[in-house]
Structure 1
Amino acid sequence: MVRGDGKKKPFKPEPERFYDGGVDACEEEERQEAPPNSSYGVRIELLRHADGGRELFRMQRRIAYNDRTYGVLVVPPSTGDFNSDLTSVPALFTWLVPKTGRHLPATLLHDGLHHPPGDQTYISSKGFTVRRVEADRVLRDAMADAGTARIRRWLVWSAVATATMLDGSGTGWSKGLMLYYRVTAALTVLLILALGIYASFDLFDAGIPTLPWMDSRPWSVALVAGLSGAVVILGLALEFWSKTHKRYYRVTAALTVLLIAALGIYAPFHLFDAGIPTLPWMGDRPWWVELVGGLSGAVLIPLALALVFWGPFRIAGAVVGVSLAALLYPTVALAFLTAVYQAVEWLTASWTPKWAKPLGCVALVGLLALFVLFITA
């Protein structure tokens, strides 16, 4: 917001901008419409149900929010067919941004502005059409008014804005601009992930593992083996796609592209027996100097990419890039622990009780033997 003297006003959270949105009329339930009432605070009433194993919630009352730019927003237009998964956060990151909390009214508001899916015709009380980019901005301000901490709301907004860049639907962008934002966001994420993984090998002076199907062979044989590996990996990916639930298609496709791109970049070095170049900001230095250099690169490189290529989304690019670089190791550790837990859960689900106790005793004895071995060595 801008003051009369042209200076930008400091943002001040105003919780009273949220209030009860009433209920919409429903002929099937013989329910009459109850208009929004600004005298009452926001009321969130949710009805839980499952859709193919996915937990969803249906709002029983609407939410009203008085936005500083677009005026009063009342969502959803129809509660009867509106479903939300609350705050859309991957399971690995719920420790950072939980599914519910102070930000819940704002995330439900954001979902309601995109209801029904693909319909970008929401008109505010002031006659503004609220498209996806504008809805993302509303989410950020609404989280502040709901009492969400500053860092958390900027993390959420940056993640949502990046998703908007990758998807592009409901933005009104031209095809060229949509393609530019998609490529920019995707390449930034891939580059930061690649540098983060490579920096780990550089920090611990560990040799980059070789590709077993190309190792120590004549270049012609290595070339054929590399092409064969690419075909096999792509075939396995296609087979996995055919057996995967549709909601995982994007994750599966992204991981496949990431794996093939990484192997495709790495294979030429292997083919020509060329040494993998070191990161110049880390180099061959004492480990603590390399660590400081790696941390500086994890901050400066995402900032530079965001400032140069992300345009109006540069703040989102900087937040996502630095967060991705900083949280890479914790995320990998959490992913590993989650995979181990899921594997144990899957195995124990099919076990009969008579096998559980003997196997548990064997595992306990084995751990005890290892413990004694380590403390006596």
Structure 2
Amino acid sequence: MKLTVEQVGGPFYNESNAPPEQVAATVDPPAEVVDCAAAPGVGTETEDVPGVQPDLPAALDLEIKLARCVNPSTGREEFRLQQRIAYNDPELGRIVVPADLANWTTDLTSVPPFLTWLVPKTGAHLPAAILHDGMVLNKNEPCSYIAARKIRRDEADCVFRDAMLATGTPRIRAWLVWAAVTAATMHHGQWNPDATWQKGYYRLALWSTLAVITVLGVWSILDVLDVSVPRVPWMGDHLGPELLGGLAGSIVIPLMFGTMWGRFRTAGWIIGPLAAILLVSVLPIVFVGAFYLLAEKLQQFHRGLARAVAVLIISAAVAAFVAFLVVDCSF
């Protein structure tokens, strides 16, 4: 399967498919080829083997051609570019992605399934997402780009945000995505390879913030549902004050913890309140998603067992429904 995305105008454009060293020689000042890709032939099986296409005429400023790949080890859907793309950054200059055109792949926009309503996999931000995939290095995700110098991960995150804005991504969405990838940068600690103690501090700040938000969020939900738990101090005794107090706490407390994020505090001020507010809606979606994945795994393991479990669950639901109906009618 092939996918073509076209864009006219903006800082993105098609780049040559020549060997990366030749492309690097055209960058002023002379560029560095950063390629951490796996060896050729490792990691993907393709439905439609793309190969390396010849240079395309510049009829459009940007034409993204993608070939779908399936990673045999993970089963994850990936895409391989048919032609390099380039971006002119105001600070870092020209950045070309990928260096290894034949083997490098992207998963487009890396978004959890339960958040694609907020940030879809494709859209105006797609060129920026592909650019970011080429610049960052996650586990089992090789970086592959050509630029005047090596780009730190926190710099790549800022380039991602600015590129999204330059290609028409709504401003709030661009900053939300930037905050999310910045949180990932804090966790991986790849923005400063020399400061070990800073990596530990920022990782602690990130996960303590998320842990406090989760605990207080669940506590607040139980309080609203009148479960036998101690009352949340900033929430009232009735539904209206409870909801208003919970909303206020979801904003104020994460902002306080976001300040602990130091140089990344702007991301903390964005991610914290957003995570706290979304917690109520995301938890049921995560639960349903986990149930679905478990059902899929069970069905793949043994269809007969999956049918038996399904019959058991339905029978239990019918029995509970009848029981509660009878009890309610008896009063």
Q: Give me the TM-score of the superposition, normalised by structure 2.
A: 0.74
1:281 matched to which residue of 2? 234
The question of whether the paired residues in 2 share the 8 Å contact of 1:21 and 1:37 is answered with: no
- How many angstroms apart in 1 are the aligned matches of 2:298 and 2:263? 48
Q: Does 1:318 align with 2:269?
A: yes
The question of whether the paired residues in 1 share the 8 Å contact of 2:14 and 2:86 is answered with: yes
Per-residue CA deviations over 1:201-220 (Å, capped at 9, x if unaligned) read 22233114xxxxxxxxxxxx
Q: Does 1:198 align with 2:192?
A: no
Choose from 110, 115, 122 the match for 1:100: 122
Choose from 159, 162, 170 the match for 1:149: 170
Per-residue CA deviations over 1:113-170 (Å, capped at 9, x if unaligned) read 136978889663xx44321100000000111122211222111111100000011125
Q: Does 1:85 align with 2:107?
A: yes
Per-residue CA deviations over 1:206-237 (Å, capped at 9, x if unaligned) read 114xxxxxxxxxxxxxxxxxxxxxxxxxxxxx
Query: Which structure: greater helix fraction?
Result: 1
Tell me the C-alpha RMSD between the 2 structures: 3.6
Q: Does 1:161 align with 2:114?
A: no
Which SS does the other structure have where 1:57 is aligned? strand
1:48 matched to which residue of 2? 68
The question of whether the paired residues in 1 share the 8 Å contact of 2:66 and 2:79 is answered with: yes
- Alpha-carbon distance change, 179 to 359 in structure 1, aligned in 2, over 3 angstroms: closer
1:109 matched to which residue of 2? 131
One-letter amino acid of the structure 1 residue matched with residue 277 of structure 2: A
Unaligned runs of 5+ residues in structure 1 are 1-13, 209-275
Which SS does the other structure have where 2:244 is aligned? helix
Choose from 243, 246, 258 the match for 1:291: 243
The question of whether the paired residues in 1 share the 8 Å contact of 2:125 and 2:169 is answered with: yes
1:17-36 equivalences in 2 (<5 Å): 17-25=11-19, 34=55
2:30 matched to which residue of 1? none
One-letter amino acid of the structure 2 residue matched with residue 24 of structure 1: A
Q: Which structure has the greater CA radius of gyration?
A: 1
- Alpha-carbon distance change, 288 to 33 in structure 1, aligned in 2, over 3 angstroms: same
Deviation at 1:193, TM superposition (A): 0.6
- How many angstroms apart in 2 are the aligned matches of 1:342 and 1:132? 32
- How many angstroms apart in 1 are the aligned matches of 2:13 and 2:92? 16
- Alpha-carbon distance change, 33 to 312 in structure 1, aligned in 2, over 3 angstroms: farther
The question of whether the paired residues in 2 share the 8 Å contact of 1:86 and 1:104 is answered with: yes
- Alpha-carbon distance change, 43 to 123 in structure 1, aligned in 2, over 3 angstroms: closer
Choose from 168, 181, 196 the match for 1:175: 196
1:66 matched to which residue of 2? 88
- Alpha-carbon distance change, 31 to 200 in structure 1, aligned in 2, over 3 angstroms: closer
The question of whether the paired residues in 1 share the 8 Å contact of 2:79 and 2:106 is answered with: yes
1:212-361 equivalences in 2 (<5 Å): 278-282=231-235, 285-307=237-259, 309-346=260-297, 350-351=302-303
Deviation at 1:24, TM superposition (A): 3.1
- How many angstroms apart in 2 are the aligned matches of 1:105 and 1:317? 25
2:25 matched to which residue of 1? none
Query: Which structure: greater strand fraction?
Result: 2
- Alpha-carbon distance change, 326 to 161 in structure 1, aligned in 2, over 3 angstroms: same
- Alpha-carbon distance change, 286 to 139 in structure 1, aligned in 2, over 3 angstroms: same
Which SS does the other structure have where 2:64 is aligned? coil
- How many angstroms apart in 2 are the aligned matches of 1:115 and 1:190? 26
- How many angstroms apart in 1 are the aligned matches of 2:262 and 2:9? 31
- How many angstroms apart in 2 are the aligned matches of 1:49 and 1:195? 42
- Alpha-carbon distance change, 107 to 290 in structure 1, aligned in 2, over 3 angstroms: same
Q: Give me the TM-score of the superposition, normalised by structure 1.
A: 0.65
- Alpha-carbon distance change, 161 to 288 in structure 1, aligned in 2, over 3 angstroms: same
Give % identity.
39
- Alpha-carbon distance change, 113 to 351 in structure 1, aligned in 2, over 3 angstroms: closer
- How many angstroms apart in 1 are the aligned matches of 2:311 and 2:193? 59
Unaligned runs of 5+ residues in structure 2 are 1-7, 21-39, 41-49
Per-residue CA deviations over 1:14-53 (Å, capped at 9, x if unaligned) read 9521111231339x9997984x987732221122222221
Which SS does the other structure have where 1:43 is aligned? strand
Per-residue CA deviations over 1:236-294 (Å, capped at 9, x if unaligned) read xxxxxxxxxxxxxxxxxxxxxxxxxxxxxxxxxxxxxxxx5x43212x52221121111
Which SS does the other structure have where 1:325 is aligned? helix
